[in-house]
Structure 1
Amino acid sequence: MNLSNTQLYETGSDKKRRAVLVGARTGRTSEEEFEVGMYELKGLAKACDIEPVMNATQNLVAEDAATYIGSGKIEEIKAVIEMYDIDTAIFNNTLSPSQLANLSKALDVEVIDRTGLILNIFAERAKTKEARLQVDYAQLKYMLPRLVGLRANLSRQGGTGGSLSNKGSGEKQIELDRRKIEKEMAFLRRELEDVEKTRQLQRGRRSSAGIPLVALVGYTNAGKSTLMNRLIDDYGTDSGQKVFVEDMLFATLDTTVRKLETTSGRAFLLSDTVGFINDLPTDLVNAFHSTLEEALYADLIVEVIDSSDENHMMHSEVTARTLQQLGAGNIPRITVMNKAERLENVEIPLVRGDKIFISAKSGIGIRELVNLIEKKLNESLRRCTLKIPYDKSGIESQIRNSSQVVSVAYEGDGITMEAYLTSENYGRYSEYIE
């Protein structure tokens, strides 16, 4: 048996599911991208509490339509499965329904592809009603054409999962499962439509307040939530409302929005949302669209990068592609090189144009980052003088709450204000602008 394209991992003694990680590289993927993908697959497996035992890789001119990998590699993996008491095979590709079914039969262990693995992580991490609805819908959409292969997986586990029933077998049962899933998907679609309406109302209220929105985006585990909490601590109007932080993939699945205020009195909203990853399943992007599109409505995007990760440039490219896919590619952006305390020959804080090196964990560079955010927001603002009659004094409060006010003077014929206005507020209060 030729094991030249395998890599054995050190494993612990804990009783966990044990997996062989399978990757096939075609000409469409560079060697570097392939290696990064396999490394990420190991992290994804661990996030699902699965112990990676070995890598099995293969170079292909083109994928096999029936089993993705070649028949020789299948025999090799079968030998590895028996030798190392492995019960799961995880593929670093999205398998077609027929490939999943054929591989489940050929390998006689549970077969999971990259999409299924990420969906499992999302299902484990989903805490709010909205996140659970989005994950459930994405899982069902993924399951629907793959019922044959997934039912084979479940029979090996000796149980059930998701929406698959454990009664009966064969084509009749698969058809019953299909009908049940389609019914559940229709229900979830209606629920998600209600969620989207609620989000639109929330955005409308935020927009009417005239407070700019700054969105934190970036690769998963780059430190967005740590940065969010640091900013809440230092500039939040309610420091008790922190977000969940954990050193794990996809720790955050929900959008969190908090109001911050700079030392100069400049107010803005800050949002933190789900992290990106290479080959984020399309079904997940679609299901989480209402969450991810928070970036689409931002006045400024703050991209958070783990500068200590040797693959951070590739991660940034993935973030850029995802933002483009969402339609947010042209929104003004600041790049935050986080975890810069781990870098050699870099003295932080360091600001280079619209890029800043910081440490969210220690707080070094936070003040400089907020100054940069304020500067970028002000670039899109217009400094105006407004004359407000006393019988319209409520306008003064609205402007104070939504804009950076330079000065206020109470005169005989009304209130004179100097303030920086967004284009939206400029139109809203145009009748008072001198």
Structure 2
Amino acid sequence: MSEIFVQPVIIAGMNKTVANYDYAMSELEALVEANHMEAALRIDQNLEKPNPATFFGKGKVVEIKEMAEAKELNIMIVNADLTPSQIRNLETETGLQIIDRTGLILEIFGNRARSKEAKLQVKIAQLQYQLPRLRTSISNRLDQQAGAAAGGGGGFTNRGSGETQLELNRRTIQDRISHAKHELKELNKDEEVRRAQRDKAGLPNVALVGYTNAGKSTTMNGLVKLFGKGEDKQVFEKNMLFATLDTSIRQLTFPDNKQLLLSDTVGFVSNLPHNLINAFRSTLSEAANADLLIQVIDYADPHYKEMMATTEETLKAIGVHDVPMLYAYNKADLTEANYPNQTDDQLIYAAKDEKSIQVLTKMIKAKVFKDYITTTLLIPFNDGDVVAYLNDHANILKTDYLADGTQLTVELNAVDAQRYAKYIVTPA
């Protein structure tokens, strides 16, 4: 297997315009690494506000050009959303290919998208980003990504000529956006049917949310390993931002036969482009429709509080309100903290530690199964299929065989309690 080429790049930012600037730049560096690039040079500038024409001041632009030539670098990633004219002017004056923060995230998403739904979502966001930037060279790179995200070949670029977006008009891209949205709408209809079927089953929905690379997938795999009855499918995990974009759903079955659906959602990052929030709204609806959210937090990262704030802001942006939440502080094994350590709705844990996963499981069950009722059913012998179902899907506390049927003391969810209400024994 051939090694992936890592492209050396410049990263640059303006520290007077960004809160927690050093953290923002370290996050940019992580995003660069996630896109198979390496920050070979970092450039910072102190300005109260950006230059309308080139973002950076005139002297800094000259410095960027000279430093890039000295180190033979061709690409600069800017930790801001630049206007089309700023990108164009910077490219003209520095001779560099300029990628702004949103452009970088879109490239990463284009490379990570695997399912047809994710590819369409990314394609829509990329095209919307391209619309005002038809004359910037970044469209070349995004064009290739959009083509890949759509699962097609050439995208929008005529590889044989030096021209790219100059020959395309706004209507062409708008038509492509409309077409992609129509395809996505059809896919969403299928997902709505599947979600309705899951809701009909009456199983609680639990969603893992949080900052990208906090350990959501590792946490899910830990739970699936212990309780994924008949579900040995582990989700993809890697120590990298946005390792996966697809929402994965697994059914967990506990020793007492209680069951739930667990979903692993796409990770968040600060200032996630609005186009991507909108595009992934359907995917993130698993969080909006959940009975319980587990916010997974990288406790080993010194900026974990900022990451929590980002998660809360993103959940609010996608319309998630009033859903109960557990706070799971992961990667405690990389700190000096004792773990697992539970306090109310908070857990300090390590996702690869089985004892930690067991404690997390107890916390989850205490939340999602708190409305289960304990009742007694008397089931005629002729209805043995009901007894068989309850033995497989409910927690049987006691079984007695009486003259007129099987009497069960059992824990039931609301759906099963209503379904088998006729068998409930009324206290004398």
TM-score by length of 2: 0.87
Counterpart amino acid of residue 111 in structure 1: I
Given that residues 102 and 149 in structure 1 are in contact (C-alpha distance below 8 angstroms), is that contact kept between their aligned partners in structure 2?
A: no
Counterpart amino acid of residue 25 in structure 2: M
Question: Among residues 79, 86, 89, which one is paired with 1:92 in the alignment?
Answer: 79
Question: Among residues 121, 133, 143, which one is paired with 2:108 in the alignment?
Answer: 121
Given that residues 257 and 393 in structure 2 are in contact (C-alpha distance below 8 angstroms), is that contact kept between their aligned partners in structure 1?
A: no
For 2:189 and 2:377, the matched residues in 1 are separated by 35
Q: Which residue of 1 aligns with 2:361?
A: 370
Are the structure 2 counterparts of residues 152 and 309 from structure 1 closer, same or farther at C-alpha, using a change threshold of 3 Å?
A: closer
Given that residues 372 and 411 in structure 2 are in contact (C-alpha distance below 8 angstroms), is that contact kept between their aligned partners in structure 1?
A: no
For 1:397 and 1:78, the matched residues in 2 are separated by 75
Q: Which residue of 1 aligns with 2:24?
A: 37
Question: Among residues 183, 187, 212, which one is paired with 1:191 in the alignment?
Answer: 183
Shift of 1:98: 2.2
Shift of 1:236: 0.8
Shift of 1:300: 0.8
- Are residues 1:260 and 2:247 paired? no
Q: Which residue of 2 aligns with 1:245?
A: 237
Could you tell me which runs of 5 or more consecutive residues in structure 2 were left unpaired when the two chains were aligned.
148-153
Per-residue Cα deviation, 1:246-299 (whole angstroms, up to 9, x for no partner): 111111211111111222222111111211111111111111111112111111
Given that residues 110 and 153 in structure 1 are in contact (C-alpha distance below 8 angstroms), is that contact kept between their aligned partners in structure 2?
A: no
After superposition, residues 397-408 of structure 1 pair within 5 angstroms as 406-407=397-398
- Are residues 1:17 and 2:7 paired? yes
Question: Among residues 129, 152, 166, which one is paired with 1:142 in the alignment?
Answer: 129
Q: Which residue of 1 aligns with 2:156?
A: 163
Q: Which residue of 2 aligns with 1:270?
A: 262
After superposition, residues 50-129 of structure 1 pair within 5 angstroms as 50-129=37-116
After superposition, residues 168-179 of structure 1 pair within 5 angstroms as 174-176=166-168, 178-179=170-171
For 1:325 and 1:396, the matched residues in 2 are separated by 46
- Are residues 1:336 and 2:328 paired? yes
Q: Secondary structure at the match of 1:148?
A: coil
Are the structure 2 counterparts of residues 309 and 151 from structure 1 closer, same or farther at C-alpha, using a change threshold of 3 Å?
A: closer
- Are residues 1:358 and 2:349 paired? yes
Could you tell me which runs of 5 or more consecutive residues in structure 1 were left unpaired when the two chains were aligned.
1-13
For 2:423 and 2:61, the matched residues in 1 are separated by 74
Percent of matched pairs sharing the same residue: 37
Question: Among residues 282, 286, 291, which one is paired with 2:283 in the alignment?
Answer: 291
Per-residue Cα deviation, 1:354-407 (whole angstroms, up to 9, x for no partner): 111221123231111111111111234444556667787766667666665545
Per-residue Cα deviation, 1:41-98 (whole angstroms, up to 9, x for no partner): 1111122122211111123322233222222221121111111111001011111222
Counterpart amino acid of residue 74 in structure 1: V
Out of 200-209 and 358-367, give the one that drifted further: 358-367
Q: Secondary structure at the match of 2:13?
A: strand
Counterpart amino acid of residue 197 in structure 2: R
Counterpart amino acid of residue 368 in structure 2: L
Q: Secondary structure at the match of 1:365?
A: helix
Out of 259-268 and 277-286, give the one that drifted further: 259-268
For 1:325 and 1:430, the matched residues in 2 are separated by 41
Given that residues 11 and 43 in structure 2 are in contact (C-alpha distance below 8 angstroms), is that contact kept between their aligned partners in structure 1?
A: yes
Q: How many residues align?
A: 412
Q: Secondary structure at the match of 1:290?
A: coil
Are the structure 2 counterparts of residues 318 and 35 from structure 1 closer, same or farther at C-alpha, using a change threshold of 3 Å?
A: same
Out of 296-305 and 97-106, give the one that drifted further: 97-106
TM-score by length of 1: 0.85
Given that residues 210 and 403 in structure 1 are in contact (C-alpha distance below 8 angstroms), is that contact kept between their aligned partners in structure 2?
A: no
Counterpart amino acid of residue 342 in structure 2: V
For 2:78 and 2:115, the matched residues in 1 are separated by 29
Q: Which residue of 2 aligns with 1:211?
A: 203
Out of 352-361 and 389-398, give the one that drifted further: 389-398
For 2:321 and 2:222, the matched residues in 1 are separated by 26
Shift of 1:179: 3.8
Out of 100-109 and 424-433, give the one that drifted further: 424-433
Q: Secondary structure at the match of 1:341?
A: helix
Q: Secondary structure at the match of 1:301?
A: strand
For 1:236 and 1:15, the matched residues in 2 are separated by 37
Q: Secondary structure at the match of 1:22?
A: strand
For 2:384 and 2:53, the matched residues in 1 are separated by 72
Are the structure 2 counterparts of residues 425 and 323 from structure 1 closer, same or farther at C-alpha, using a change threshold of 3 Å?
A: farther
Q: Which residue of 1 aligns with 2:218?
A: 226
Q: Secondary structure at the match of 1:289?
A: coil
Given that residues 211 and 269 in structure 2 are in contact (C-alpha distance below 8 angstroms), is that contact kept between their aligned partners in structure 1?
A: yes
Counterpart amino acid of residue 17 in structure 1: Q
For 1:78 and 1:234, the matched residues in 2 are separated by 55
